[in-house]
A and B are shown apart, each in its own frame.
Chain A
């Protein structure tokens, strides 16, 4: 576990500054589930019960942090959650556009306006407040966009994870307070969203893999939001690439792609379609596969598609996520890397 410098709140024991454990979605850890979670106290209608095989608690560590009303940042494999006194105040994931992309893509906010707010109020961690006070956004618009982005990034962050989770006490996000939500609400919504996707189309491939059109004719009744997504399917882009291009929350894109997949219009790119040089190092002498490997590029030796060239936007986000994980000060480092990468586009 990499030890990074945390910024503790005054009075907190240093020894407690950082916590890490194997916070993977491990079914063995479901004993952390509060007994009342399964109590049908909210009515049975449309309640997304976790399906068999899916642990009813997404992150035991997150539940504990909520109970102890912790403040800081939880870093998981696919994103980060910022907590203030046990409530979720912000979330980010490389799989979905950040607030800046969401607000600037359609012109709700000019890029200049965004960066001015970040430079004016970022150090005080009041960027959200500044955007409203300076008249750039209404409180309602900021809350709608930020809250949507929070649940969206949390959905990806709390997705199945194989890596350990890490919590750093005292770290706050520069966006500042907007509209905190409970950990319980975030976890419940994440499970409900998984269930929603599964009901639309049970194959999860379109969530993450490069997408292609099947060639099936598209009739005029295709809803415009799905058509907008379909127009971005080019054989290379993934769902998160498309979300970034459209400035649309990632989960919304997943929903539309599952609907397009269910309609037989979009599918994942088959490994055999992908072309590219075969890594020579993968031919192992004496292995059973080596005979197959000589059959051609679509042989069994390459079960996975060759690495897809990342689009600039996904590279930016990947870099930003990497910076956030590697740096002692994720906020400032993230901002710098994002700015540099955006300017370089």
Chain B
């Protein structure tokens, strides 16, 4: 059963992966990081990504049509995708069986990254991280 480091290293094996982290979106704490970060500072990146994740999780506009189901204290949003000229960011919320507010953040190069694959794999990793 993988821990945080194994999970992040697995994420880094995805094509185009530049950096990955596990972040708490309430505090902005980076619980684990690997590889590079966009501004050269994983902690600062985590704090900024956390703010984005929090807004996405909490605003009703991004909840499914049937409403925001926070059963188990987990947000109704599955992931966030950001695209810019040279890279992708995928933020995947991690559903835990204890009270938490955690997501996986993967940063991918756009030229060699595969967004669809990364999104699917990140979802699988998020589940394995806590469920096994």
Residue numbers of A with Cβ under 8 A of B are 42-43, 45-47, 102-103, 105-108, 132, 135, 138-145, 147-148, 151, 179, 188-189, 192-193, 196, 221, 223-225, 228, 246-249, 251-252, 255-256
> Is B58 an interface position by the 8 A CB rule?
yes
Q: B98 and A46: CB pair below 8 A?
A: no
A138-B132, A151-B27 given. 5 additional CB < 8 A pairs?
A: A139-B1, A144-B130, A147-B32, A189-B27, A225-B26
Q: List 28 A-B contacts (CB under 8 A).
A: A42-B44, A43-B40, A45-B41, A46-B48, A106-B73, A106-B97, A132-B1, A138-B1, A138-B2, A140-B1, A140-B2, A140-B130, A141-B97, A143-B4, A144-B4, A144-B22, A144-B31, A144-B129, A145-B100, A148-B29, A148-B31, A225-B101, A247-B98, A249-B99, A251-B27, A252-B27, A252-B101, A255-B26
Residue numbers of B with Cβ under 8 A of A are 1-4, 6-7, 22, 24, 26-29, 31-32, 39-41, 43-44, 47-48, 57-58, 60, 68, 70, 72-73, 94, 96-102, 128-132
Closest chain B residue, CB of each to CB of A145: B98
Closest chain A residue, CB of each to CB of B46: A46
Residues of B contacting A148 in the complex (Cβ-Cβ under 8 angstroms): 24, 29, 31, 100, 102
Q: A46-B48, A105-B98, A144-B96 are in contact. Are A139 and B73 (CB under 8 A)?
A: no
Residues of A contacting B128 in the complex (Cβ-Cβ under 8 angstroms): 138, 140
Q: How far is the CB of B39 from chain A (nearest CB, A)?
A: 5
Q: How far is the CB of B31 from chain A (nearest CB, A)?
A: 5
Q: A179-B4, A248-B99 are in contact. Are A141 and B130 (CB under 8 A)?
A: yes
